[in-house]
Chains A and B, each alone.
Chain A
C-alpha cells in the first residue's frame, strides 16, 4: 500500500502532520498565556487521520471538520492564522469573533461547512451537500468525521441512513480514539469494530490503522473514488487513541497508564518519519528544511493573529439575517444541463420495488402495492384529476405522467397476482 504513493505524496502527508502538530503546539502556548478565549482541544496522536483522509479529497470536494480535525482544515487550505484567530476570538477571524475553535467554514472557495458543537449534526448536513452536488452534476464527494462517542447520537443514525438510501457520495470517517471524554468506547458501543454498523445501513466500510498515515490515505482515496463513482456512502473506522485529555482542563486520569504507553510508542508522525528515513525519502537536511519552513510560517501567522483586534462590541447586533442580494448572491453552480431536470431525466435510479410485490406507483396511478390500507383501486385518471394534481397546470406533463403510469401498470398487476 505504502508503495503506491509517490515521494511527493509521502512528503506532503509528513508536512501536513508536522504542521498540524505545530499549529496545536503553538495554541497550547497561547492557551497558557491566556490568549485563547475558550477551551482548547487537541488531536495529538490523531494527526494521521485528519491529514490522511482529507488529502484524498479534490479541491472541489466538501468537508466539515470536527473538533480534532485541524489537520484536515490545513490540508484543505485554511491558513494557520485563521485557526489561531478563531481560538482567540479576534476580529479578523473567519467568524469575526462570533464563534471559536474550528467553528467556521467557507462556502465559496474552500468548500468547508462549519460544525456546531452538537455531535452528529454534520452527518445529515453533509449528506445533503453530497445529494445537492450530485443533483447539480458537480461530481463531488462530501466528507465529515465523527467520534466513537458521537456515533451514539440519534442524528448519526438518521443522517447515515438517509445518505445510504440516497446512495449519496458521502464518506464518513469514524475516529475511534477509544474515549469520549471520560467514557471508554465499550460503554458507548458493545462492538469490537464500530465499522460493523455499516452493515446495518447497507453500506460498505473499511477499518484502518489510524496511526498509519499512508494507510489512512490509500483507504480513504479508494473510498472517496467509490463514493464519487456512485457506489453510495462509505464508513471508515480509523482506530487510534486520544493522547491528551478531552480538552486542556482534563488531566484524563481515568486512562490506564499502559494504554497510554502503548499508543505513545505508536506516534503517527514518528512512524511515518521512520518509514521516510528508511526508504530514503527524507534525510536530515530535508527534515530540517521542513521544520524551518513550518517555524517561519507559524511565527508570521501567530504575529498576525496576535495583532488582530478584538471585535467592536456593536458587531454583536449584526448579521442575524441575510438581507438579500447585496448580502449574498445565492446561485447554484450547475454542471449539468438545467434542461435535464425539468422535465426530469434523473441521474439517480429510483428503485421503488418491494421484493415479491413488484413496483410501487405514483399517487395518480391505479394500484399502490406498497400502500395496502389506504388506496382504492381505480381504473385510471381522468383529465381533470391529472390537471389538478399538477397544481392546476395543464399541458405537457400530463403526457409524461401517462407514460410513467404505463410502465408501472404491468408491474402493479403482476404484483397483485403475487399477493394472491
Chain B
C-alpha cells in the first residue's frame, strides 16, 4: 500500500514555489487547520469525546484546550446525536462548530440528526448550518469491523451535505479550512491509515483548497483512474508499475465526493476513453456506481471499454490481517484491472 511518499502534484503550484514549507504529517495538517481556524475566528468551536483534556483519541486536537479554553474546546459525553444536534443549534447563532467523531464509525449513531436535521434546514426553512463533522475513517490498520468504516456514501446520498475525503496533508489542511468557512454542513473524512504514514509539504501561510474540485495527480493518455483517500496512493503506486509496461494512466484524486467534480472526470475520460474507479468503500452503492451512471449519461460515446471498479468486498471489514488484506483493494488488484481495461 502507500509507502509514505506523496506525489509532487498536490494540487497547488504555490507549494512548490514557497520557501517556508514544512514537511508535516497528515495528522499534523489537520491539527494545524483547526488551530489556525480557531485562532482566526472566535466563532469556531470544537466539540467531541475526549477532544479537550486528552487532546483527542488520535491527538488531533492536542493543545487546543490550553489555547482556546473550555468554552471553545468542549469535551462531550458519549452522545453522538447530542454532539451533532448541539453543534447544529450553535450554528444557528452564527458559530461554526467542528464536531469530532472519535471514530467515524460512530457517525451513524447520529445519522438521523445529520440527515434529517442538519442537512435539510437550508432547503426547508432557510437555516444554514455551517458546521464540520470530522473523524478518523478507513481500514488497513486492523481496526476490525467497527473501527474501519468508510461510511461516506450514506451521506453522499443526502442532499444538503458536502462530503470531503482528502489524501494529502496539503489537501487535508486546505480542505478542512475551506470546510470550516463553508456555510453548509460538511463531512470531512480522515483516513487514519494516512495520519502518521503520509507526510507532505505545506506552505507557511493561510490557504484553502476549493471544495468540489478534483485534481489530476498524474497525467496519462491510456486510461483514467479515479480514486480518493488512501486508495489514491495505492492507485499512484499501480500507475508507476503500469508505466513500466507502457501504459500511461491518468490518476485523478476526487477529494470531494459531494458535490462531485464532473468536469474534471469527464475531461479526462474524453481524453483517455477508459475509466477505472478505485475505492476502499465496499462495491455495492459505492461512488464508482455513481460515476458509471455519470459516464453513461454524459460520455457514453467516448467510452472504448467498460467502467471497471476495484473496491473492497461487499462484507463488513474483517479483523484478522489475512482477511482484511484480502478484503481491501491493493496496488496489485488495481494493476490487474488497469491492464485488463487497457486491452480494449
Q: Are A159 and B85 within 8 A (Cβ)?
A: yes
Known: A133-B93, A332-B93. A362 touches B86 (CB 8 A): no
Task: Decide if B184 is an interface residue (CB 8 Å cutoff).
Answer: yes
User: How far, in Å, is A145 (CB) from chain B's closest CB?
Assistant: 15
Complex: chain B residue closest to A126, CB-CB? B89
Known: A129-B92, A132-B89. A118 touches B112 (CB 8 A): yes
CA–CA, A212 to B299, complex, Å? 68
Task: Decide if A12 is an interface residue (CB 8 Å cutoff).
Answer: no
Q: Which A residues, 291 to 344, have Cβ-Cβ distances below 8 Å to chain B?
A: 319-324, 327-328, 330-334, 338, 341-344
Complex: chain B residue closest to A154, CB-CB? B81
The 3 closest A-B pairs by CB, nearest first: A344-B69, A128-B89, A124-B85
Task: Decide if A31 is an interface residue (CB 8 Å cutoff).
Answer: no
Query: Which residues of chain A are near B32, meaning CB under 8 Å?
Result: 391-392
Q: Are A121 and B113 within 8 A (Cβ)?
A: yes
Query: Which residues of chain A are near B69, meaning CB under 8 Å?
Result: 341, 343-346
Query: Which residues of chain B are near A344, meaning CB under 8 Å?
Result: 67-72
Task: Decide if A397 is an interface residue (CB 8 Å cutoff).
Answer: yes
- State the total of A-B contacts with C-beta under 8 angstroms: 247
Task: Decide if A388 is an interface residue (CB 8 Å cutoff).
Answer: yes
User: How far, in Å, is A359 (CB) from chain B's closest CB?
Assistant: 10
Q: Are A342 and B93 within 8 A (Cβ)?
A: no
Query: Which residues of chain A are near B122, meaning CB under 8 Å?
Result: 319-322
Task: Decide if B240 is an interface residue (CB 8 Å cutoff).
Answer: no
Task: Decide if B125 is an interface residue (CB 8 Å cutoff).
Answer: yes
Q: Are B72 and A341 within 8 A (Cβ)?
A: yes
CA–CA, A289 to B258, complex, Å? 58
Q: Are A322 and B184 within 8 A (Cβ)?
A: yes
CA–CA, A46 to B89, complex, Å? 27
Range, interface on chain A: 35 or more
Query: Residue-by-residue, is B54-93 near A (CB-CB < 8 Å gives 1, otherwise 0)?
Result: 1100010011111111111010110111111111111111
Q: Are A346 and B53 within 8 A (Cβ)?
A: no
Q: List 15 A-B contacts (CB under 8 A).
A: A103-B125, A124-B82, A125-B89, A127-B82, A129-B89, A131-B89, A132-B92, A162-B86, A322-B183, A322-B184, A330-B128, A332-B93, A346-B71, A362-B65, A400-B67
Q: Are B36 and A391 within 8 A (Cβ)?
A: yes
> How many interface residues does B have (CB within 8 Å)?
70
Complex: chain A residue closest to B65, CB-CB? A362
User: How far, in Å, is A143 (CB) from chain B's closest CB?
Assistant: 12
Interface set of B (CB-CB < 8 Å, partner A) = 22, 24, 28, 31-32, 34-36, 38-39, 42-43, 45, 52-55, 59, 62-72, 74, 76-77, 79-97, 112-113, 116-117, 120-128, 130, 159-160, 162, 183-184
In the complex, identify which listed stretch (A68-76, A92-100, A250-258, A279-287) lies at the interface while the others stay far away.
Answer: A92-100
Query: Which residues of chain A are near B38, meaning CB under 8 Å?
Result: 342
Query: Which residues of chain A are near B159, meaning CB under 8 Å?
Result: 320
Q: Which of A98, A118, A328, A363 contacts B128 (CB 8 A)?
A: A328
Task: Decide if A58 is an interface residue (CB 8 Å cutoff).
Answer: no
Complex: chain A residue closest to B64, CB-CB? A391
Q: Are A132 and B90 within 8 A (Cβ)?
A: yes
User: How far, in Å, is A312 (CB) from chain B's closest CB?
Assistant: 16
User: How far, in Å, is A94 (CB) from chain B's closest CB?
Assistant: 7
